[in-house]
Structure 1
Amino acid sequence: MSEPRFVVVRNDEEQYSIWSADRELPPGWHDAGFTGTRAECLAHVDEVWTDMRPRSVREAAR
């Protein structure tokens, strides 16, 4: 049996999560272009999400 597939998703505040690849994305979340196993997706999120602050907070701090 193969492992379930997940997709990395991102919202408009540039916050990341993972979502089951066989389900419709929830409102406000968009495909971030990476699909894999749960572990692969979580590793990708760790690599690309280096600033945990929402985009609006980062922009206000400039």
Structure 2
Amino acid sequence: MPTTHQVLVNHEGQYALYPATRETPDGWTPAGFDGTEDECAAFVDAHWPDIRPLSLRGA
């Protein structure tokens, strides 16, 4: 059975995949999506087209 992952986002608007069974690390917030690694990667691809941190996107 594949590991369930969750999508996390930090204060810079950067996304990460993280095992859903583990406690969310400091500095990260659940983005409200979980699934297989491939499903989570597809979610990130659809929601994070500009991978620069927020602090650089506004510059």
TM-score per shorter chain, which class? over 0.9
Say how many residue pairs are matched. 59
The TM-score with structure 2 as length reference comes to: 0.94
How high is the sequence identity, in percent, across the aligned residues? 47
Partner of 2:55: 56
Q: Which sections of structure 2, spanning at least 5 residues, go unmatched?
A: none
The TM-score with structure 1 as length reference comes to: 0.90
* Structure 1 runs, 4 residues or longer, greater than 3 Å off: none
Q: Distance in 2 between matches of 1:58 and 1:38?
A: 27
RMSD over aligned CA atoms reads 0.7
Q: Distance in 2 between matches of 1:45 and 1:17?
A: 8
